[in-house]
Structure 1
Amino acid sequence: MKTTNPVLSRFGRTAVRERGAGYAAGAGYQQPAYGQGYPPAGYPEPSGYPNGAFPTSPVSTRTMTIDDVVVKTATLLGLLAASAAAAWVLIPDALLGAAWIGAAVVGLVLGLIISFSRMANPALVVAYSVVEGVFVGMVSKFFTSVAGYDGIVLQAVVATFGVFFAMVLLYKARVVRATPRFTRILIAVMGGLFAAMLINFVLALFGVDTGLRSGGPVAVGFSLICIVVAALSFVLNFAEIEEGVRAGLPERYSWMAAFGILVGLVWLYLEVLRLLSYFQGDD
């Protein structure tokens, strides 16, 4: 049966095979059709197995559940919030720019490694959450302490989680679904948005203002589009989690699912924060 999204290839096909691969002894052995009690009477007993019995089932591995993903996501968000608060307090304004850029680069590298890795790595996911916390903390401190937009961080946090839980309800009610067409279009749009951001960043280094981040009508429209797309990306995350549970992926892959949600939340928060700054800048 074909899936509606690339969850199995994203997590790695080896993850799916893990639930049925390996034995307590004789790794790589193909279980005979006879099952327990093999070999038939009159044949010599195989060595290396207790009581001469072949294993009849693979080593059990606990599979991921929705609760696992919820717990892992809450854990990552807690780490992100703690590192953001620590960075806000400990890093002085004079080093704000350097910490911002450094955390952004390290977070990007870790995110790419996690995304393209074929195996779940909880340590890398945790490290990504901590580094992203520093990045989010520095961005938030800039808008509050440097730009002087009081209360904007709390507003952005409330709006971000409001959008997230709204998407949870819409997905649960099957108002929005990750159909193949929806998935293809959304991934294409996300790729286009990230390409536009990259081009805008490069041009900004040469003093070219495209208007995408200048606070004008074009910037407001671009941020609104990014917010809508970031919100819709959760639909893909939810569908991937459902399919991962259905496929019986090992429990540690819940870290990958939580990582996907965390990336979406950070992107949504940054876009909401930027959009709110445009309106506060007009006061």
Structure 2
Amino acid sequence: MQSHNPAFRNDKAFSPGGYATFDDSGRGSGRTPTRSGGGPQDMTPQQLQEMYAQPSAGGAQTGRMTYDDVVVRTGALFGVLVVAAAATWVLTPVGAGLGLVLPLMLVAVGLGLWANLSKKIRPGVMFAYAVLMGAVLGSISQAFEAALSGIVFQAVLGTLGAFAAMLVAYKTKVVRASPKFRKFMMIALPGYLVFLLVNLGIGLFTGQSAYDTPFGWLIGLLGVGLATFSLILDFDFIEQGVKNGLPQQFAWKAAFGLVTTLVWLYIEILRLLSILRGGE
């Protein structure tokens, strides 16, 4: 199974059965641990009662990734991103940071690729990405808000609403990451990425954009749809990672993948709202 998100794409650990569960010492191969003595049959009734009365082991005790681990790390990365965005908005004059948006975004994308493709989990690189992308979003949001009052609030609300809707749809199994769904997304996402790169290149040289045409809102709607449904793939890969008993450090990759999708979704919603409201 492959993912749209580079944080998961090359990790077999996030696929069903992709990471072994336990070997003889409780790690690795998926075999049942062997017993060399001292098992439950050798314990007194009081010892058994005390053992079963203990609270369930969490990620810190088992060393395996849990949903709580992903939530905490997602919150940390997202919090840094929001603080960087707010600081950029407040501390820079309107429009002053737009000239740095493209360079900062390119550096952030480079850091993101480094964090995703590296065999080592790199939280520091992920936080650096969050700071730079936060500065990018702060500059963009500030400019959009100056031109179209209230649009940032609408975009934030739309992003949170889409996230909540997809989470509920996934948990209730209304939408699942079926093989057909994954195949469609694996075709649609690279195609949309190529379109974005071509459109960016044309815009840099001619000042024109496909979003300026009468069909711009349809393209914007497509981008929002792809970003929204990409969350389903993120949820599925996180679920598989937890079920496969991944090491706790993999929660950083899961969280980073989710944050990058949310950033993409926010940008797409902001752009679509701008088109619908007549902005450029």
Q: What's the TM-score bracket when you normalise by the shorter of the two chains?
A: 0.7 to 0.9
SS across alignment from 1:206? helix
Q: CA deviation at 1:85?
A: 0.6
Give runs of aligned pairs for residues 126-145 of structure 1, distance below 5 A.
126-145=127-146
Distance 1:95 1:74 in 2: 29
Distance 1:87 1:258 in 2: 23
1:246 to 239, 243, 252: 243
Distance 2:186 2:278 in 1: 32
Q: CA deviation at 1:94?
A: 5.9
Q: CA deviation at 1:99?
A: 2.5
How large is the RMSD of aligned CA atoms in angstroms? 2.7
Partner of 2:229: 232
- Given the two structures, how large is their TM-score scaled by the length of structure 2? 0.78
Partner of 1:170: 169
Q: Give, as a single letter, the amino acid of the residue that structure 2 aligns with 1:213.
A: Y
Partner of 1:117: 118
SS across alignment from 2:176? coil
Q: CA deviation at 1:281?
A: 2.1
Identical pairs, percent: 36
1:72 aligns with 2:70: no
Give runs of aligned pairs for residues 1-283 of structure 1, distance below 5 A.
4-5=1-2, 10-11=10-11, 16=19, 36=36, 62-93=63-94, 95-145=96-146, 148-207=147-206, 209=208, 211-214=209-212, 216-281=213-278
How many residues align? The count is 244
CA contact (8 A) 2:177 2:233 kept: yes
User: Could you give the per-residue CA deviations for residues 19-45 of structure 1, whole angstroms, max 9, x where no partner exists?
Assistant: 76999xxxxxxxxx99759xxxxxxxx
Which is greater in Rg?
A: 1
Q: CA deviation at 1:119?
A: 2.9
Q: Give, as a single letter, the amino acid of the residue that structure 1 aligns with 2:131.
A: V
Distance 1:118 1:181 in 2: 29
User: Could you give the per-residue CA deviations for residues 173-192 of structure 1, whole angstroms, max 9, x where no partner exists?
Assistant: 11111112211210210100
Mark the runs of 5 or more structure 2 residues left unpaired by the alignment: 27-32, 38-60
CA contact (8 A) 1:104 1:135 kept: yes
Distance 1:86 1:235 in 2: 31
Distance 1:8 1:199 in 2: 26
SS across alignment from 2:97? helix
Seen in structure 2, the aligned counterparts of structure 1 residues 144 and 20 have a Cα distance that, compared at 3 Å, is: farther
Q: Give, as a single letter, the amino acid of the residue that structure 1 aligns with 2:129.
A: Y
SS across alignment from 2:63? coil
Distance 2:111 2:21 in 1: 25
Seen in structure 2, the aligned counterparts of structure 1 residues 109 and 22 have a Cα distance that, compared at 3 Å, is: farther
CA contact (8 A) 1:233 1:264 kept: yes
Mark the runs of 5 or more structure 1 residues left unpaired by the alignment: 24-32, 38-59
Q: CA deviation at 1:157?
A: 0.1
Q: Give, as a single letter, the amino acid of the residue that structure 1 aligns with 2:272.
A: L
CA contact (8 A) 1:12 1:118 kept: no
Distance 2:22 2:90 in 1: 45
- Given the two structures, how large is their TM-score scaled by the length of structure 1? 0.78
CA contact (8 A) 1:11 1:253 kept: no
Distance 2:25 2:90 in 1: 49
Moved over 3 A (4+): 4-9, 15-23, 33-37, 92-95
Q: CA deviation at 1:205?
A: 2.2
User: Could you give the per-residue CA deviations for residues 160-214 of structure 1, whole angstroms, max 9, x where no partner exists?
Assistant: 10011000000001111111221121021010001001011112222173x5221
CA contact (8 A) 1:65 1:254 kept: yes
CA contact (8 A) 2:95 2:139 kept: no
CA contact (8 A) 1:84 1:136 kept: yes
Q: CA deviation at 1:102?
A: 2.6
